[in-house]
């Protein structure tokens, strides 16, 4: 009987560890995918901004990530919600939309041409 209890406990521990590991790997891969997307944008001066991933939600092969961008040395900030889809072991950014303000200026995430400023309207562009 004791052997059965220890076997069940070991199995539960292994399953829990595997589940947590996958979640951590997904979050790391999502962060890396967003960084790759941003670094591929020649129209953004990412060295002038701090960014922080605030929340990641994974639902099967789809995910969303909320990222806050802040101008270094300033008060300007913007939040973008990215939509991602699993591609093999990694993730691909499908889209990004500003959060909260409903602005028509898509900021950092959209399209190869930038689609707009990386800062809220009225803020000067960093050099």
> Given a cut of 60, is residue 82 above it in pLDDT?
yes
The total number of residues shown for the chain amounts to: 127
Domain ranges for the chain, please list them.
2-98
Residue 115 has pLDDT above 50, yes or no: no
The residue with tokens 């399209």 is 111
User: Which is nearest to 26 in space by CA: 90, 96, 95?
Assistant: 90
pLDDT (0 to 100) of residue 73:
86
pLDDT at 24: 65
Question: Residue for token digits 């052997």?
Answer: 3
Q: Which CATH number fits domain 2-98: 3.10.450.630, 3.40.190.80, 3.40.50.700, 3.30.420.40?
A: 3.10.450.630
Antiparallel, parallel or unpaired: β 77-87 and 49-59: unpaired
Range 22-27 average pLDDT: 75
What is the C-alpha to C-alpha distance for residues 8 and 94, in angstroms, rounded to an integer?
41
Give 110's pLDDT tier (boundaries 50, 70, 90): very low
The pLDDT tens digits for 41-74 are 888 888 899 999 999 999 999 999 999 999 998 8
Residue 113 reports pLDDT greater than 50: no
SS3 track for 36-56? HHHHCCCCCCHHHEEEEEEEE
Confidence check: pLDDT of 85 > 90: yes
Q: What is the pLDDT of the chain when averaged over all its residues? A: 76
Q: Is the pLDDT assigned to residue 16 strictly greater than 80?
A: no
Task: Read off φ and ψ for residue 10, nearest 5 degrees.
Answer: -65, -40
The pLDDT, as a whole number, for residue 74 is 85
**Number of neighbours of residue 51 by Cβ within 10 angstroms:** 17
């Amino acid at each position: 009987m004791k052997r059965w209890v220890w076997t069940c406990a070991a199995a539960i521990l292994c399953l829990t560890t595997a589940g947590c590991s996958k979640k951590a790997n997904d979050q790391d891969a999502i962060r890396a995918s967003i960084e790759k997307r941003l670094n591929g944008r020649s129209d953004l001066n990412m060295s002038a901004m701090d960014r922080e991933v605030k929340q990641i939600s994974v639902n099967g092969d789809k995910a969303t990530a909320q990222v806050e961008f802040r101008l270094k040395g300033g008060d300007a900030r913007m939040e973008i919600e990215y939509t991602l889809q699993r591609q093999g072991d990694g993730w691909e950014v499908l889209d990004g939309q500003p959060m909260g303000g409903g602005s028509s200026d898509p900021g950092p995430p959209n399209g190869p041409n930038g689609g707009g400023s990386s800062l809220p309207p009225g803020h000067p562009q960093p050099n």
